[in-house]
Amino acid sequence: MTALVERVRDVRRVPTRFLPVIVTFALFVLMFAGGGLRYDSFASGQVLLNLLIDNAFLVVLAVGMTFVILTGGIDLSVGSVVALSTMVAAALLRAGWPPVVVMLAVLAGGALFGLAMGAVIHYLEIQPFIVTLAGMFLARGLCYVIDLQSISIEDPLFRTIAQTAVPLGEELFLSPAALVALAVVAVAVYVLHMTRFGRTVYAVGGNQQSAMLMGLRVAQARVGVYVISGACSALAGLLFTFYMLSGYSLHAVGMELDAIAAVVIGGTLLTGGSGFVLGSVLGVLVLGTIQTILSFEGTLSSWWSRIVIGLLLLVFVVMQRVLARRGAAR
Amino acid sequence: MRELLRKPIWPLAALLLLNLAVTPSFFAVHVQDGRLYGSLVDILHNGAPLAITALGMTLVIATRGIDLSVGAVVSIAGAVTCTWIASSPDPASPGAAIAGIGLALGLAVALGAWNGFLVARLGIQPIIATLVLMTAGRGLAQLITDGQIVTVNNATYSGISGSALLTVPVTVLVAAAVYALVALVTRRTALGTLVEAVGINPEASRLAGVRSRTIVWTVYVFAALCAAVAGLMISANVHAADANNAGLWLELDAILAVVIGGTSLAGGRYSIAGTLLGALTIQTLTTTIYSVGIPPEVSLVFKAVVVILVFLAQAPKVRALLARGRRPAGPQPPPPAAPVPGGPVTDVPVEKTGSSR
C-alpha cells in the first residue's frame, strides 16, 4: 500500500506536460500486451516492427502535422498532398525521368505547396483551416488532372526499395521506408528541441503576440511549419508510393484525419504550444495496434476501427482537459 | 434584403452570368407534372441540404465553435431511417417512414446534445470535440446499416425529396421555412444578440447573466438537427442510405458556405443571408462545372481556384494592399468627421462590418 502511495507521488512529480505522452505510452503497452495475451504469435518483435513498416508514411505525416499544430495551426491538405505525390511520382516515372530526380522533384513540390499555403496564412491573415482546405481541394483535383486511372510503377529502383528488407538480428527486419520514418522523427526531435526555430515554434504556439514582442521570428516559424508539413506530406507520399507501387487519385482519402488523431492521441494540444513529436509517433503506433488487433480478430468489421479511434480521441481529449484544469488550479 | 446586398454577391453573379453565356436557356423555368423544372430550380433543390446544414453551422460558428460532425450526422440520419423502414413489418407504409424520420431526428438531438456536452460542459475545444463524432459517426452509421447500402421503396419517404407543393419542390420549401424561422427567432428576439455575445466573449457574457452554456448546447443540437434534415433529404433523393458516402465532406462545404457568407471563424457577428448566399454560390459552382462542360477531373481544381479567389478578395489584408496601391490615383476617402460638441449624435454613421467596403 505504501509502495502504491509512493508511486502515485512519483507520478505526480512528473511535469504535467509529459503526462499525456506517458499515458499514451502506457496505453500502447497495454493494448499490445492485451493483444499478446489474446492471440498467439501477436507479441512478437516482428509484429511490433510491422507497426512501423505499415505506418511509416503516417509517422512522417504526423511529425509534420505536429509542427503545424504546435503553432496553433492545422493542415487539412496532407492526405491530398500524399495522393498528389504518388500521382506525380508515378507520372514522372512513366514519362521516363530518372527515379532520384523524381524523388527530389516530389519533395521540392511538397515543400513549395506548403510554402504557398503558409505565406497566404501568415501574410494575408486568412485562417489556416480555410487555406489548407482549399489546398486539400486543389491537390486532390490536380491528381485527377494528371490521370483518372491508377498508374502502376515499374521503375526498378522504386521496386527494389519497396521489396528490400533491412535485417535486424536473427529473424527481424525493417523496411527502408520505416528507417526513413525513424530518421525523420530523429531530425524533428532535434529541430524542435535543439534549434532556435524549434523554440520559436513552441513560443508562437504558446502566445503569438508575446513571441512577436520578444522579437522572435514569428513569420519564419509560422510559414516554416507549413513548409515542413508540405515536405513531410510529399515524403510520406513517396513512402506510400513504395508501399503501394502505384499512383492513384483515391489514395490516402481521409488520411489527414488519421494524422490529426495520432497527434491528439499523442498528447499535443490543438491550441498549440504544448506537445511532443514522440507523442505523435506513439499515437500512430496506437492507431496501428488497433488495426493489427482488428486484423488478428478477423471477424470484426473495418468500421470498428473508426469507432475505437473516435472513443480513444474522446478519452484523450477529456484527460487533457482534466489535466489542464488541475494545472490551472494549482 | 439590404443585408444581402452588402454581402459578396459577385461570385454568385459571375457564376450565373458565366452559365448564361454558355447556355442561353439557363434561366428558363417551366412547369411539368405540377413541379417546376429548370437549372435555377435544380440549384435550389440540390443546394437545400447544404443550405440547411450551413445554417446550423452558422450559429455554431457564431458562438466561436465549429461542428465537424455534421457529415457523419447526415450519414447516421439516412442510415437509421432507411434501416428502420426496411426492417418494419410494412416497409411501404407512411407510418414506417414517419417513425423512422422521428427516430433519426431524435437521435440527431441526442448527438447534438453530446457535442454540446463536450463543448459547453467539459470545455473541450469545439474542433476536437466534434472531431470525435466525425471520426466515430461514420463508423456508427456503417454499424447500423451493417456496411450495406440499404435501399427503401417508400412513397412517403421519397416524398421528402421528390414531391412538390404548389409546383415548388418540398426541399426548397423546407429550407426556406427553416431559414425564415431562424431569421425570425434570432433577429426578432434577443437570442441572436446572445449568440453573438457568447461568441465575442464567453466569459464576459456569462458574467453579464447570459446563460452561455445553454446557448452553446442549443446551437450544437440545432446544428445536428439541421444536418439530420439534410441527411433525410439526401437519402430520400436516392431512396437509399449509403453510410460511406452520404454527406461526405459536407462539413467542409458547410464551413466554406458560412465563411464565404462573411461570418468569421473567430465567432461573434454572423450573417444568415450571407450563409444562404454562400451555400447557393457553392451549389451554383457545382452546377456550373457540369453545365459549362468542365471535365470532371478538373472540377476540384476549379472549385479550389474559385474558393481561393473569393477568400483572397475578402481578406482585409488584401483589400488594404489594393486600396494602398490605388490611393494616389483614386479619390481620397473623406477624413472621419470630428465630433461636433452638442451636435446630433444619432447621425454618426456606424461602420458595421469591416468587409462591407
> What is the C-alpha to C-alpha distance for residues B271 and B287, in angstroms, rounded to an integer?
24
Helix (H, G, I), strand (E, B) or coil at B168: strand
pLDDT of residue B6: 54
Asked if B131 and A148 come within 8 Å (Cβ–Cβ), the reply is: no
Average pLDDT over every residue of B265-292: 85
pLDDT mean over B12-29: 79
Nearest CA in chain A to B297: A144
Q: What is the mean pLDDT of residues B154-175?
A: 83
Which of B177 and B311 is assigned the larger pLDDT?
B177
Which residue from A123, A257, A301 is facing B135, i.e. has the nearest CB?
Answer: A257
What's the confidence (pLDDT) of residue A3? 59
* Percent over 70 (pLDDT), chain B: 88
Phi and psi torsions of B336, nearest 5°: -60, 130
Minimum-distance CB partner of A311 among B136, B143, B305: B136
Domains of chain A, residue spans: 43-324
Element (H, E) at A4: helix A2-13
Q: Is B298 on the interface with A (CB under 8 A)?
A: yes
B181 has a chain A CB within 8 A of its CB: no
H helix count then E strand count, chain B:
15, 6
Per-residue model confidence as pLDDT tens digits over A223-238: 999 999 999 999 999 9
Q: Which residue has the cell 444536418?
A: B227
Does A309 contact chain B (CB < 8 Å)? yes
What's the pLDDT score for residue B327?
Answer: 53
B135, B296, B301 ranked by CB distance to A310: nearest: B135
pLDDT at A329: 57
User: Average pLDDT over chain B, rounded to whole?
Assistant: 81
> Using one digit for the tens of pLDDT, what is the confidence trace for A86-120?
999 999 999 989 999 999 999 999 999 999 999 99
pLDDT, position B192: 84
Residue pair A52/A171 in contact (Cβ under 8 Å)? The answer is: no
* Mean pLDDT of the residues in chain A: 87
Instruction: Give B78-103 pLDDT, tens digit per residue.
Output: 999 999 988 888 888 888 889 999 99
Is A124–B302 a contact, with Cβ atoms under 8 angstroms apart?
Answer: no
Q: Which of A142, A261, A313 sits opposite B301 (nearest CB)?
A: A142
Strand pairing of B150-151 and B30-32?
Answer: unpaired
Distances (CA, A) of B281 to B2, B10, B17, B303, B319: 18, 10, 12, 11, 21
Say yes or no for a CB contact (<8 Å) between B307 and A127: no
Task: Give the DSSP letter string of B1-26.
Answer: -HHHHHS--HHHHHHHHHHHHH-GGG
**Å between A264 CA and nearest CA of chain B:** 9
Contact B138 A270 (CB under 8 A): no
For residue A325, CA distances in Å to B121, B123, B248, B284 come to 13, 10, 35, 46
pLDDT tens column, A119-162: 999 998 888 888 898 898 899 889 988 888 888 888 888 888 88
pTM assigned to the model: 0.81
For chain B, the domains span 2-293
ipTM above 0.90, yes or no: no
B136–A137 C-beta distance less than 8 A? no
Residue range A150-159, pLDDT digits in tens: 888 888 888 8
The single-letter code of the amino acid at B80 is: V
* Contact residues on chain A for B304, CB-CB shorter than 8 A: 134-135, 137-138, 141
C-alpha cell at B11: 461570385
CATH 1.10.10 for domain B2-293: no
Quickly state the pLDDT bin for B217 (edges 50, 70, 90).
very high
pLDDT in tens, B281-336: 888 888 888 777 777 677 778 778 877 887 777 777 777 877 776 555 444 444 44
Distance between CA B180 and CA B43 in Å, rounded?
A: 19
Q: Which CATH architecture has domain A43-324?
A: Orthogonal Bundle (1.10)
DSSP B119: I
Looking up cell 458547410 gives: B254
Shortest CA distance from B306: residue in chain A: A134
pLDDT at residue A71 in the model: 93
- Ranges under pLDDT 70 in chain A: 1-14, 300, 327-330
Interface of B with A in 65-94 (CB under 8 A): 66
Q: What is the DSSP letter of B263?
A: -
Binary contact (A313, B135; C-beta < 8 A): yes
Residue B252: closest C-alpha in chain A: A133
Higher pLDDT, B126 or B342: B126
Q: End-to-end distance of chain A based on CA atoms, in angstroms?
A: 26
pLDDT given at position B334: 47
Q: How far apart are CA B12 and CA B281, in angstroms?
A: 5
Q: Could you tell me which residues are beta bridge partners of residue A237?
A: none
pLDDT at B249 (0 to 100): 79
